[in-house]
Amino acid sequence: MDFFEVIEKRYSVRGYKNQEVEKEKLDKILEAATLAPTGVNKQPFKIFVIDTKTHKEELTKIYKQKWFTQAPIVLCIAADKTAAWTRPWDGKNIYEIDATIVMDHIILAATALGLGTCYIAAFKKNETINFLNLEEKYEPILFTPIGYIDAEPRDAPRKPIEELVEFI
Ligand SMILES: Cc1cc2nc3c(=O)[nH]c(=O)nc-3n(C[C@H](O)[C@H](O)[C@H](O)COP(=O)(O)O)c2cc1C
């Protein structure tokens, strides 16, 4: 699949088949994550690969939508706030930017391999910290299920390009 096909094909998948994801595909997705750029190459993140069959109860407490645990795997990316680059002149720490770029690599790699995903920010943070036993320096940033698609895209019209882009 060519890159532009990948970004056109991707959508938020909110329904998954009861079908395993091949280890080779998961390995490729995780490798794509490690190739993501991060500020000053700090790589201040950790990816948790969660088996939904084993952890259905905990995951349901974190994000209650039924489709979340239909996929065989859920990934969570957490960022280390103490390891990420901070812009010295105004103190802006870029840990969330880094982690989001990593998640985007994961999601586009999964799409290219014929798998469905959905960015999830609306999770319960404290339940996540407890479940993953996260040290204080880590903040969970995003989740995604990864699995074979069993849902059509929802209507998600985009704003016209003129509204979003300004040439100055
Ligand atoms: C950072 C981020 C967080 C999101 N969080 C959620 C979420 O918690 N639950 C959900 O169902 N969708 C979530 N979405 C999916 C968006 O609603 C979706 O990307 C948007 O409506 C566009 O639709 P599309 O992804 O199908 O193109 C999130 C998307 C992004 C980029």
Nearest CA to ligand 1 atom 11: 120
CB of 118 closer than 6 angstroms to any ligand 1 atom: yes
Residue 64: its pLDDT value, please? 97
Distance 40 CA to ligand 1 centre (A): 28
62 and 26 Cβ atoms separated by less than 8 Å? no
CB of 67 closer than 6 angstroms to any ligand 1 atom: no
0.95 surpassed by pTM: yes
Mean pLDDT of residues grouped by 10 in the chain (168 residues)? 96 98 98 98 98 98 98 98 98 98 98 98 98 98 98 98 98
Residue 1: its pLDDT value, please? 87
Q: Tell me which CATH code domain 3-151 carries.
A: 3.40.109.10
Residue type (1 letter), 101: I
* 29 CB burial (10 A radius; 0-12, 13-18, 19+): buried
The separation between the first and the last C-alpha atoms of the chain, rounded to the nearest angstrom, is 35
